[in-house]
Structure 1
Amino acid sequence: MSSVSNAEYIALKKLIKERGLLDKQPWFFIGVIALKVGMLVASIIILFLVDNLWIQALNAIFMGFVLAQIGFTSHSACHRQIFHKVGWNDVVGIFLGNLLLGLSAEWWTGKHNAHHAHPNHDGMDPDLDVPVVAFTPEQAESRRGIWRWMVKHQAFLFFPLLTLQGYALREVSYRFVLSPESRRRGIEIAMMALNLVWYPTLPILALGPVAGIGFILISQAFFGVYLGSVFAPNHKGMLIVDDNTQIDFLRLQVLTARNVSGHPITDFWYGGLNYQIEHHLFPSLPMHRLREASMIVKEFCAGHGISYHETSMIQSYREILGYLHEIGASLRAPKAVSSSV
């Protein structure tokens, strides 16, 4: 992929910097971390103090919600949004990601940085390399066995499959920290081991083995659906590029992303990731400043004839599922049978 011109991006970044939107605000994030850890502690306290399985089922959903919210802040740390010093961001990433979520911060950062560098680039964006989902007709046709059947019905299976996302992220994280690729194997394994101690153990101690396992299953299912539904609108159904695409950095980041219309409740639910265009243009920009940045970027794109796609939450899922249904259509179409006379 060749770069046409960076002049427009440089001009846009200057506008963002002049507004102070790239400035670090560590105390804000410290407050956010304290709030989210406090919510997690509250969920654990409810585990031990309330003897009602229906309330505990709701508490399991609440814990899944809190863990996903912690994931959003871990994401900010991995993007160096919190502190000026890289090391402090890494500490927060390991604390939130490895200890509280049981996921490898190093693996996530490496994978996510590759995605940011090559969004929706077929063959280079790791987020397009998912066996159970196809994003292009070529990917769909290449699937075999159970994967082919799943891609054929991917629009209907998409949200149910998200219930398993938490386990998939853990499995990949475990394989990474045990591989030669891991540079922080010791601390990452230690923190992930501690996660395995507190997360399965506390629900089972509080509720007993059957109810405790049920609690874990519910919380992980909600965690996966919530996290996946937040990340899904970002790029699915948007422009996909390849090695032959001629596009500059600004247009690459804008045209491959979708924004979900902002509102204080929406912004909280999405952890700021509903401003995906701005996040991709300026990954180190603190998430809570993306709303303000979006006003600048939207006006800039309009003035430069760059398509800026923003839609409602419901419409974003319609677009995603419609796109996935269309990609799987070729596998559902009856094959023509040739006959010879």
Structure 2
Amino acid sequence: MGTIGNAPAVERRAVRVRASGTSDFTELAARIQGAGLMRRRYGYYWTKLLLVPVVLTAAIAVFVRIGDSWWQLLMAAAFAVIFTQIAFLGHDAAHRQIFVSGRWNDWTSLIIGDLFVGMSYGWWRHKHTRHHANPNKMGADPDIELPVITVTAEQAARHRLPVMRWLISHQGAFFFPILLLEGISLHVTGIARVLHRDPVDRRWFEIFFLVVRIGGFIALVFAVLSPGIAAVFLAVQLGLFGLYMGASFAPNHKGMPVVPATLKLDFLRRQVLMSRNVRGGRFIDTALGGLNYQIEHHLFPSMPRPHLRHAAPIVRAYCRRLGIPYTETGLLASYGIVVRYINRVGLGERDPFDCPLVAQRRAS
């Protein structure tokens, strides 16, 4: 399957390259393997998998017990956090972090994503596979081809209407408000994907799970709450879910070098130079679902989440020895970098965070 599906395939290709002695990934991979950081963490993940239905059942019970009250807006925020944390678990399964069996991982991610979160696993896997293969590469990474945010000067130049140019030039100010719509976008895009004529693995399972999750949740909300409160509840829940999801993924690559499609980099540099880690300790590790170790995750996608924090010092020291920039910052600082970056792009400034390797190759 893909790198969510294909992440292991990417690693296998990297292993073949380093076996010939031509890749700087060789020694690093050996150190990581020797430290036992690729071994499975069944206890950790089975605990989380068993907690998913328990926590959701408890949250629904509290929701029903509170009844028709504006206090339910607190529950809307709670559901947003719960669904995002469950989505992180689906992300781990999709990257083959939980089980040896690809089939078990696929079904786990499909059930978590479609039935518990309301996102199409098939759609997300296809998109995320392409991102992992070529992060921040123009024409190859779908995560830099966004409908409402421009991340390159070339994208900004495509817009001719004055109102669009004004919006883009101020897009930094709109970035977090726009994330409030991300929850709706994730649901709608996934539904559109499974209903499209393009081939979709397990299409009818996805359709069934999405109908049960999205339709069932809406029905529950309107059964318990009066129409006005129900509408506000869903708006708050979807808005905070989108904000949490977007704010968790935004620090990873936004504001890092965006490189042309023609640039060729080895696997190690392609993943390290385009990714950013976020410091912050165990709380940030939990809040961001391990995505704060983005460099290590991109180098070793199938590494179990609990091991990422132990791999980081090894990768950091190795990159320092090779002179490869290893980027890490605090969470709030990362948001500041993202906002400043997209503002500068929106104002038409070219290559605001140009990659040193790109500059060197242009000069030569």
- Pairwise same-fold verdict (TM > 0.5): yes
Q: Does 1:152 align with 2:146?
A: no
User: Number of residues paired by the alignment?
Assistant: 329
What is the distance in 1 between the residues matched to 2:268 and 2:318?
Answer: 11
What is the distance in 1 between the residues matched to 2:339 and 2:242?
Answer: 17
The match for 1:200 is 218
What is the distance in 2 between the residues matched to 1:143 and 1:199?
Answer: 39
What is the distance in 2 between the residues matched to 1:94 and 1:147?
Answer: 37
Q: Does 1:302 align with 2:320?
A: yes
Match 1:178 to one of 195, 198, 203: 195
What is the distance in 1 between the residues matched to 2:281 and 2:67?
Answer: 37
The match for 2:241 is 223
What is the distance in 2 between the residues matched to 1:309 and 1:299?
Answer: 12
The match for 2:276 is 258
Deviation of residue 36 (structure 1)? 3.6
Identity %: 38
The match for 1:71 is 87
What is the distance in 1 between the residues matched to 2:160 and 2:46?
Answer: 47
Match 2:117 to one of 95, 98, 101: 101
The match for 1:80 is 96
Distance 1:61 1:291, change over 3 A: same
Does the 8 Å contact 2:280/2:331 carry over to 1? Answer: no
What is the distance in 1 between the residues matched to 2:145 and 2:277?
Answer: 22
Deviation of residue 243 (structure 1)? 2.4
Q: Counterpart of 1:130 in structure 2: which amino acid? A: L
Deviation of residue 181 (structure 1)? 2.5
Q: Does 1:121 align with 2:137?
A: yes
TM-score by length of structure 2 reads: 0.87
Does the 8 Å contact 1:64/1:220 carry over to 2? Answer: yes
Q: Secondary structure at the match of 2:24?
A: helix
Give matches, 1:275-314, under 5 Å. Answer: 275-314=293-332
Distance 1:96 1:127, change over 3 A: same
Does the 8 Å contact 1:134/1:327 carry over to 2? Answer: yes
Structure 2 unmatched runs, 5+: 1-16, 350-364
Distance 1:105 1:310, change over 3 A: same
Q: Does 1:27 align with 2:73?
A: no
196-205 or 32-41, larger mean C-alpha shift: 32-41
Deviation of residue 246 (structure 1)? 3.4
Distance 1:8 1:262, change over 3 A: farther
198-207 or 224-233, larger mean C-alpha shift: 198-207
What is the distance in 2 between the residues matched to 1:34 and 1:203?
Answer: 25
Q: Secondary structure at the match of 1:330?
A: coil
Give matches, 1:232-247, under 5 Å. Answer: 232-247=250-265
Q: Deviations over 1:212-260 (max 9, x none)?
A: 2221111110000011001000000001111232321101100100100
Does the 8 Å contact 2:68/2:226 carry over to 1? Answer: no
Deviation of residue 149 (structure 1)? 4.0
Does the 8 Å contact 2:120/2:206 carry over to 1? Answer: yes
Deviation of residue 37 (structure 1)? 3.2
Deviation of residue 176 (structure 1)? 1.1
Q: Counterpart of 1:122 in structure 2: which amino acid? A: M
What is the distance in 1 between the residues matched to 2:83 and 2:166?
Answer: 32
The match for 1:334 is none
Give RMSD over aligned pairs.
Answer: 1.8
Give matches, 1:2-81, under 5 Å. Answer: 6-51=22-67, 53-81=69-97
What is the distance in 2 between the residues matched to 1:195 and 1:136?
Answer: 37
Does the 8 Å contact 2:252/2:294 carry over to 1? Answer: yes
Does the 8 Å contact 1:298/1:308 carry over to 2? Answer: yes
Q: Deviations over 1:176-235 (max 9, x none)?
A: 111222122111111111112321111111112221222111111000001100100000
Structure 1 unmatched runs, 5+: 332-341
Give matches, 1:325-340, under 5 Å. Answer: 325-330=343-348
TM-score by length of structure 1 reads: 0.92
Q: Counterpart of 2:153 in structure 1: which amino acid? A: P
The match for 1:339 is none
